[in-house]
Amino acid sequence: MTDLWEALSVALSLVVGLDRELVDIVGLSLRVSLTAVTMAALIGLPLGAALTVARFPGRGVCIVALNSLMGLPPVVVGLIVYLMLSRAGPLGVFGLLFTPAAMIIAQTVLITPIIASLSRQITDDLWSEYREQLRSLGVSRRRAVTTLLWDGRIGLLTAVLAGFGRASAEVGAVMIVGGNIDNVTRVMTTTIAMETSKGNLALALGLGIVLIAISLIVNGLTFGLGVATRFEKAPA
């Protein structure tokens, strides 16, 4: 128990004192996860809304497949991305393996289905309400998608947040494609796993505190944004 308190005390001092190693790891983690979330949102949000609006043979299969992909095992994603980026793989020529770019790709693959599936569910509710009005206006599918994305923005922000949560807490895929190389691809989760196995609980706990704090901040921002935009004037 004394060890635990001691580790917690050191962990807090690392966080408060902005320990150089800790700051570097947190910085890289945020860079990787935020980039992955941005890319996944750019793909997933319109994809989900387009699936809501579009009617085509096999749409149901697409939706079931997308929902199933939400539970993709991270290590499997890591393995597939590893095979694609390895020297013998189709994308090996770019030399991305064991770089932050590889970790971004793995996280993007992992969370795009989550954001797309949640986006479809959120916009589907809205579409059932808007469909006749938008059809009466004769809107194109593209305009319908942008309308749904704008009007569902608060709910969709939650979908993006869910994606960020999954990305920032992910270990397996980034470990495989990043290699957990010191000062190159070492992120919060891989460092926590490694330092815990080494018995260095202080750094692991310090990073854990930061991880939880980030989650709280993002949730708080989303909540605040929801309140602020509830009564805003929206552009057409």
Partner 1 sequence: MTGSILPLRVTGLTYQPGSRRLVDDVSFELTAGMRTVILGPNGAGKSLTLRLCHGLIPPSAGLIAWGDGNIPSAYLTRRQAMVFQKPVMLRRSTAANISHALACHGVKRRDRPARVAEALARTGLEALARTPARVLSAGEQQRLALARAWILRPEVMFLDEPTASLDPSSTRSVEDIILAIHNAGTKIILTTQDLGQAKRIADEILFLDRGRLIERATANEFFAGPATPEARAFISGELIMPKHLPRQTKDLASE
Residues that bind partner 1 (CB under 8 A): 129-130, 132-139, 143, 147, 151-152, 230-236
- Taking the complex as a whole, the smallest distance from the CB of residue 118 to partner 1 amounts, in Å, to 18
Phi, psi (degrees; rounded to nearest 5) at 157:
-60, -35
Nearer to partner 1, 151 or 195 (CB): 151
69 or 139: CB nearest partner 1? 139
Phi/psi of residue 186, nearest 5 degrees: -85, 115
User: Between 52 and 107, whose beta carbon lies closer to partner 1?
Assistant: 52
Shortest approach of partner 1 to residue 233 CB, angstroms? Answer: 4
CA distances from 157 to 51, 101, 124, 143 (A): 18, 24, 15, 20
Distance CA 60, CA 197 (A): 45
Give 136 or 183: the residue with its C-beta nearer to partner 1.
136
| Cβ closest to partner 1, residue 130 vs residue 164 | 130
CB of 220 to partner 1, least distance (A): 22
Q: 9-35 burial, b for 16+ CB within 10 Å, e for fewer?
A: ebbeebbeeebeebeebbebbbebbeb
Smallest distance, partner 1 to C-beta of residue 26, A: 36
Question: Which residue do the tokens 């959120």 mark?
Answer: 122
71-74 contacts at long range (C-beta below 8 A, 24 or more positions apart): 72/109, 72/110, 72/113, 73/172, 74/106, 74/110, 74/170, 74/171, 74/172, 74/173
H-run or E-run covering 90: none
Least distance from partner 1 to the Cβ atom of residue 135, Å: 6
Closer to partner 1 by CB, 20 or 233: give it: 233
- Residue 164 C-beta: closest distance to partner 1, Å: 23
